[in-house]
A and B are shown apart, each in its own frame.
Chain A
Amino acid sequence: MSGALGKVLCLRKEALSQTKQALSLVRFQLREENPSCSAGNILLNTIRSYKSKPTHGIGRYKHLIIPTESKKKIGKTEMKPISQGTDHIYGVLNVHLTAYDMILVENYAKYVHKLCNDYSIKVEESYALPTKTMEILQMQEQSNKMLLDSILTTHERVVQISNLSSTFAAIFLEILQSNLPEGVNLSVREHTEEAYKERFKARPELEELLAKVN
């Protein structure tokens, strides 16, 4: 075995006498160790020759990707308005659409979303706030009782926008207002911490514990 290897090694030696590989192979011969042939432990194989080859690390790609931050549920920071020099860009704005008719408000929210996409205004989120039900009791004639209910549900949809420039804001608002359908109320507000916290459900146990601690 070693004889045949020795021949191969010699041939190699002649061909690539100046390369590192040849030197390392020569080193093998001198030491009279041939780890690849030994029947012993794999751990004895301390010198890995392929690490020095040019193809080392050929499959590596993770170092080329831009690391994305993992999104946390709570503790998401808000964007502050960017005011640099001449151009002024609004921070995060919330467009609230409220109506009694759910189909109308949803379709209009869809329209606003598409409009923002067309004008390359970034839409951060598009969510719905819980519906509020209102019961209307009418006074019955010839009696003091309140009867004859009707139930009204108020639906609210929010489209969250960022990166709106102040020059375009006026035009954008005018488009929104002129295309508003009947029965839909429009309100554009800045996004605040309270508005963000409003979406979460109240946790009575937590509040109780906090009250106990304080």
Chain B
Amino acid sequence: MAAPLRRVLYGAARGLGRPWRPRTLCAAAAAAAAPGRSAAAPSGRSPWRLLGALCLQRPPVISQPLTPLQVEMAELLQQIEVEKSRYSDHEMRALEEIRKLERKKADLYDSDDDDDDDEKEILLTQDLEDTWEQTFLQFKPHPRVTEADQKNDRTSLQRKLDQNLVLLVKEKIGDQETWILPHAEWQVGETLRETAERVLAILSQNSMEAKFLGNAPCGYYKFKFPQAFRTENNIGAKVFFFKALLQNGDLSQARNKDNHVWVTKEELGDYLKPKYLAQVRRFFMDI
């Protein structure tokens, strides 16, 4: 059920030949993806350029630990449930066997009284429980705090397993390097979601699989170019963010380690500019 976007998409596909000098509080457009094109914007087009950005999230792998109140409540409920419950088949069998063993030890034991079934009962419930205990001890779960957490290696996907992580890249814009969500220029004839998919393909070189949740963008950011670079038909740009959940794969190793980070919501503030951050925060959900 594809749903084409609501707005009629205008676009002035201009190439960015010159580097931009970014304004103090704005993130400027990236020159990386779009090749240089000759500008021929007709007068009917809107002066805003359109960019599609990708908010690639890695959903949490394990659940968050319970708060102390939740732990207490869970224990209380468990206790109530156990006290109100009745014996299960396994427990009944265990009780029966205890009684039979006691009868055997007693002096008035008469082997004829016992049923035939008793002879065939090789496996007592106690033995079963012991074997279960053994298999349980052999099972070792993975640690919650991984190596990457301890090293605080922000480029790896293995850190912060119980939280959402989002991908940030460092793009060189003009003479400044800023951290942004990866984006690409919108080209005529494709939907903005396809632009975001293109960003994914470029970043990962097809090694990452992500699931887009819908055709509608989850947020947008509008900024104007600095005064020196504004023309009549090129006031600024609008960036539309699309959310995608990472299924598997990682950024290709070809990409430099310094250029990308996987961050949680709290750490976003370390990297993004304030206004950009404010917009991104609105759609980045935290549990």
Residues of chain A touching chain B, judged by Cβ–Cβ distance below 8 Å, are 81, 86-88, 90, 166-167, 169-171, 173-175, 177-179, 181-182
Contact = CB atoms under 8 A, between A and B. Distances in A.
Contacts of A81: 1
Chain A contact residues: over half helix, strand or loop, or mixed? helix
Nearest to B60: A178
| Nearest 7 interchain pairs by C-beta | A170-B214, A170-B213, A88-B3, A166-B3, A167-B216, A86-B6, A169-B214
B3 A174 contact: no
A170 B243 contact: yes
19 contacts: A81-B1, A88-B1, A88-B3, A166-B3, A166-B215, A166-B216, A169-B213, A169-B214, A170-B213, A170-B214, A170-B216, A170-B218, A170-B243, A174-B243, A174-B245, A174-B285, A175-B285, A178-B59, A181-B63
B287 interface: yes
B285 A90 contact: no
Interface of B: 1, 3, 6, 59-60, 63, 164, 213-216, 218, 243, 245, 285, 287
Given A166-B215, A170-B216, A182-B63, A177 B3 contact: no
Contact of B213 (A174, A179, A181, A182): A174
A175 B3 CA distance: 21
A91 B213 CA distance: 17
A178 B285 contact: yes
Contacts of A166: 1, 3, 214-216
Nearest to B287: A178
A104 B285 CA distance: 24
Contacts of B63: 181-182
Contacts of A177: 59, 245
Given A169-B213, A173-B214, A179-B287, 4 more contacts: A86-B6, A88-B1, A90-B1, A178-B60
Contacts of B3: 88, 166
Contacts of B59: 177-178
A170 B244 CA distance: 10
A143 to B, nearest CB: 12
Nearest to B131: A148
A52 B107 CA distance: 106
A152 to B, nearest CB: 15
A169 B215 CA distance: 10
Contacts of A179: 287
Contacts of B215: 166
A20 B216 CA distance: 70
Contacts of B285: 174-175, 178
Nearest to A140: B123
Nearest to A87: B6
Nearest to A170: B214
Contacts of B164: 178
Contacts of A182: 63
A137 B67 CA distance: 38
B115 to A, nearest CB: 21
B1 A173 contact: no
Nearest to B216: A167
A177 B58 CA distance: 12
B84 to A, nearest CB: 14
Centre residue among A81, A167, A181, A182 by max chain B CB count within 10 A:
A167
A27 to B, nearest CB: 72
A174 B216 CA distance: 13
A171 B215 CA distance: 11
A100 B3 CA distance: 36
A173 B211 CA distance: 12
Contacts of B218: 170-171
A167 B63 CA distance: 27
A24 B150 CA distance: 104
Contacts of A86: 6
A173 B34 CA distance: 32
